[in-house]
Amino acid sequence: MMSFSAVREIAGLLRRSRRTLFITGAGISADSGLPTYRGIGGLYENRETDEGFAIEDALSGEMLRRRPEVTWKYIAQIERNCRNAGPNPAHAVIARLERELPCVMVLTQNIDGLHRAAGSRNLVEIHGDLHKLRCVACGHREEIVSLEGRSLPPVCPSCGGKVRPEVVLFGEMLPEDALGRFLEELSIGFDLVFSIGTTSVFPYIAQPVVQAIQAGVPTVEINPGRTHLSEHVRYQLPVGAAAALNEILVWYEREGSA
């Protein structure tokens, strides 16, 4: 259960915050009906692909180069699960706070594009966006609504070359532009940091929270499960993202009218 005193304190911190960071993972999209890829109820929970590969191998940069049809088969499966999903109240609350507070930044691991669809603009999609494609031969880029009706692997409409999704596959480097932009903002600092719906296993996802904890900056983790950060953050709300952010918003509005 949520501590309502904690929720009220978090809402007060939001009202006073000049620079707020939201770090989000697959859990924030759960209320949009999107499954996580691993874990309880995950899309690939405890099973291999049809070809006998671990999903991490099927969705790797090496597999895309060696057997692109395998990688694209599972990219298409993920896209099909994302299709017709829309932003949920958690995405909407964060987008609203960006409009109302001096500075709100979102660092997301998600490739579903739902933060952008909700209206977030100060956004770093560190793993890319499933709906953006790029030709590896001529550099042609396009943004798609879905892969329905497309040949797999897709071919470039300009030169007929190989096309890849603009996402970070397993074994690939993070995009320099996105990472550089985030590190620049992180160097300025934040006075309130949220970690929402992520297990924080990647160092670049956990480090901003750890850095905030070490600096005495208030930190909030919203996650129904426990992570290695749970006992260290100032506030841990063991519920889903939409329920927690909706309740925080209620108290945020009361703070504003007080």
Is the sign of the CA dihedral 32, 198, 52, 65 positive or negative?
positive
- The whole-number pLDDT of residue 45 equals 52
Is 115 an active-site residue? no
- The whole-number pLDDT of residue 41 equals 41
Residue 142 burial (C-beta neighbours within 10 Å; 0-12, 13-18, 19+): middle
Query: The tokens 């896209």 sit on which residue?
Result: 79
- R_g of the chain, CA atoms, integer Å: 19
- Axis crossing angle, helix 4-16 with helix 241-257, rounded to the nearest 10: 60
pTM score, whole prediction: 0.92
- The whole-number pLDDT of residue 2 equals 76
- The whole-number pLDDT of residue 38 equals 47
Query: The tokens 């590190």 sit on which residue?
Result: 183
- Axis crossing angle, helix 203-215 with helix 176-188, rounded to the nearest 10: 10
Residues 195, 186: Cα–Cα separation, whole Å? 15
Domains of the chain: 4-33+85-127+173-257 (3.40.50.1220), 55-83+133-167 (3.30.1600.10)
- The whole-number pLDDT of residue 77 equals 87
Residues 93, 190: Cα–Cα separation, whole Å? 19
pLDDT by residue for the chain (258 residues), tens digit each? 778 899 999 999 999 999 999 999 999 999 998 866 544 344 555 567 788 888 889 999 999 999 999 999 999 988 888 888 899 999 999 999 999 999 999 999 999 999 999 999 999 999 999 999 999 999 999 999 889 888 899 999 999 999 999 999 999 999 999 999 999 999 999 999 999 999 999 999 999 999 999 999 999 999 999 999 999 999 999 999 999 999 999 999 987 765
Residues 202, 133: Cα–Cα separation, whole Å? 25
- The whole-number pLDDT of residue 37 equals 53
Active-site residue, selected from the candidate residues 91, 115, 127, 131: 127
Residues 19, 191: Cα–Cα separation, whole Å? 6
For residue 229, the number of C-alpha atoms closer than 13 Å in the C-beta half-sphere is 32
- The whole-number pLDDT of residue 29 equals 94
- The whole-number pLDDT of residue 257 equals 67
